[in-house]
Amino acid sequence: MSEGYFGKREKLYLDDLYSALISAHHILHYHSVLDAYGHVSVRNPDNPTASFWLPQNLAPALLTSGDDLIEYKIEDGEVMEKEDAEKRQHFSERYIHAEMYKKFPGVNCVIHSHCTDVLPYCVGSVPLKSMTHMTGFLGSSTPVWDISSASSNHNFLASNLTFAHSLAASFKPATSTSFIYQKMRSALPPSIGGKPPDPSQFPDHPVVLMRGHGFTTCAASVEHAVFQAIYTREAAIVQSTALHNQAAWALELDGAGMEGKVDVEGGGKIKSGKVGGDVGKKLKFLSEKEAGDAWEAMGKAVGRAWKLWVREVEVAPLYRNEVVKQEEEA
């Protein structure tokens, strides 16, 4: 699953995985990717085609122990144990996770977020694209899934298998295997799947935006999925800031990038002429090859960030992770 928790299989203990899943929720809350909503799941390494773990319906920051985690069936998103179905509350969008694991056998972690910084790219015509080397995993395009294409139920929740199946399908459009994901796979250490990619195992896009809702991301490890979620937010912040800066520069009084003049006393309205050119076209985005090469390099360094992020939430009073790792018990 990951170099830290799914490396050599004989050294993986489920308590280590539970601890990582709880830490993932804390980290994403700490970095403003999750708030009171959103969730992270992990595939069951002992039963990879049958089940996955997802927390019960709690705010991410409040998860504390293995008792907060529930095992669900990949087949239909329902609970494995009847006792869990009766005693605990469940996320209505757990079907997102079930369908992702069903469609992509190589995916082992799925994250769903409503991050505010990303939402503007879920509702407009401006595409979210990779601009920096840290966000190369996005490639040269990020799809936007519209739930209205799957149903007339417009509450925007992927709360059944039909909606979730439609969302999962948007990760892998009917095209050739993505160059960027081949680069992503080659960036992984051999112990976690760093071998020639099997196109049937993975999506073309690691991130899909959801109109009026948020985004979903997936990866072969917990660490990589968390990295992608955090840097999807960073990508949105950088691109939004760059667009604002470019637009402001185009309206400078010295006329740079603008035809006509600005009537400052009249409230900043353009008296005549128009802003010259398309602001977005003046920005430098990464090409598909640049994005792939950048992620091939950065994907190998995800562990450094993960260790920092775990430590950040360990020392923050809000977060409690009471799962005792097997290595700590020895």
So what's the pLDDT on residue 271? 46
Average pLDDT over residues 22-42: 98
CATH H-level, domain 9-241+286-329: superfamily: Class II aldolase/adducin N-terminal domain (3.40.225.10)
So what's the pLDDT on residue 265? 45
So what's the pLDDT on residue 279? 60
So what's the pLDDT on residue 153? 67
Per residue in 62-89, pLDDT (tens digit) is: 999 999 999 999 999 999 987 766 778 9
pLDDT at 1 over 50: no
Tell me the pLDDT of the chain averaged across its residues: 83
So what's the pLDDT on residue 184? 54
pLDDT at 254 over 70: no
So what's the pLDDT on residue 280? 59
| % helix, strand, coil for the chain, step of 5 | 45, 10, 45
So what's the pLDDT on residue 81? 83
So what's the pLDDT on residue 281? 65
> Where is pLDDT greater, at 195 or 109?
109
Terminal Cα distance for the chain, rounded? 23
pLDDT at 269 over 90: no
Average pLDDT over residues 313-326: 90
User: Is 10 assigned a catalytic role?
Assistant: no
pLDDT at 283 over 70: yes
Strands (E), the chain: 39-43, 51-55, 69-73, 109-113, 144-145, 207-210, 214-219, 262-263, 269-270
The CA-atom distances, in angstroms, between 200 and each of 103, 161, 178, 272, 298 are 9, 21, 11, 55, 24
pLDDT at 310 over 90: yes
So what's the pLDDT on residue 144? 96
What is the chain's length? 330
Token pair 């830290």 is found at: 4
Catalytic one among 75, 78, 86, 93? Answer: 93
- State the DSSP H helix or E strand holding residue 2, giving kind and residue range, or none if neither: none
CA distance 213 to 121: 10
pLDDT at 2 over 70: no
CA distance 196 to 51: 26
| Domain boundaries along the sequence of the chain | 9-241+286-329
Task: Supply the pTM of this predicted model.
Answer: 0.84
